[in-house]
């Protein structure tokens, strides 16, 4: 564990060396982005990022979204298989940061972490009513950003959501929904950078 800690410190120090005259360092940059998957799942999303000039390997982000989770994801939550539950995110707010260890212009591979507060609505096809609860979760992720043309970018990413239910009820009629504790999270962001 101690070796992993020192290796992480060395990686951070070597990856944040001052830039040379040949490196292109962007000015502060803002972007707007959406997640097309949210719209595909009858929802919405909006987000933004900030890429500060003095921390040129870092990108900070914030956003909000809501959508119906596909049945395949709900069925993978232990304790809810073949129970007929439906799960909606109504709404979620997220903040996070991404670190680009090998590139200063925000393209290529990045490692990130987001913190999300989300409201969930649970219904069941066999029971009347609904249940609502709130979850706080962290999402460590790996992403890859490439620019389609000046300003327009696509960023697919995969992460692992680690959930903690913080309030609310999960019982719908006589059935108790088991909130997720961990969930694989494939995503994609499409955005545009403004200088």
Q: Percent of the chain scored above 70 by pLDDT?
A: 86
CA 161/CA 182 separation, integer angstroms: 5
Q: Judging by beta carbons within 10 Å of its beta carbon (0-12, 13-18, 19+), is residue 172 exposed, middle or buried?
A: buried
pLDDT band (50, 70, 90) for residue 73: confident
Fold observed for domain 29-194: Porin (2.40.160)
pTM for the whole structure: 0.81
What are the tokens at 106? 């925000």
pLDDT (tens digit per residue) in 161-185? 999 999 999 999 999 999 999 988 9
Every domain of the chain and the residues it spans: 29-194
């Amino acid at each position: 564990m101690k070796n992993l800690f020192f290796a992480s410190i060395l990686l951070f120090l070597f990856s944040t060396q001052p830039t040379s005259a040949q490196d292109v360092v962007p000015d502060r940059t803002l972007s707007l982005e959406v997640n097309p998957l949210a719209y595909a799942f009858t929802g919405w999303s909006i987000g933004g990022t900030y890429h500060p000039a003095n921390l040129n390997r870092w990108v900070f982000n914030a956003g909000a979204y809501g959508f119906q989770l596909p049945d395949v994801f709900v069925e993978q939550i232990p304790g809810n298989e073949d129970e007929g539950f439906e799960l909606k995110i109504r709404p979620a707010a997220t903040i996070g940061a991404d670190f680009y260890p090998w590139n200063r212009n925000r393209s290529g591979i990045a490692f990130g972490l987001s913190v999300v507060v989300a409201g969930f609505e649970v219904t069941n096809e066999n029971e009347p009513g609904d249940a609502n609860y709130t979850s706080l979760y962290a999402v460590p992720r790996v992403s890859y950003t490439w620019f389609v043309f000046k300003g327009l970018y696509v960023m697919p990413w995969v992460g692992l959501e680690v959930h903690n239910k913080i309030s609310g009820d999960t019982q719908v009629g006589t059935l108790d929904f088991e909130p997720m504790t961990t969930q694989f999270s494939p995503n994609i962001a499409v955005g545009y950078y403004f200088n």
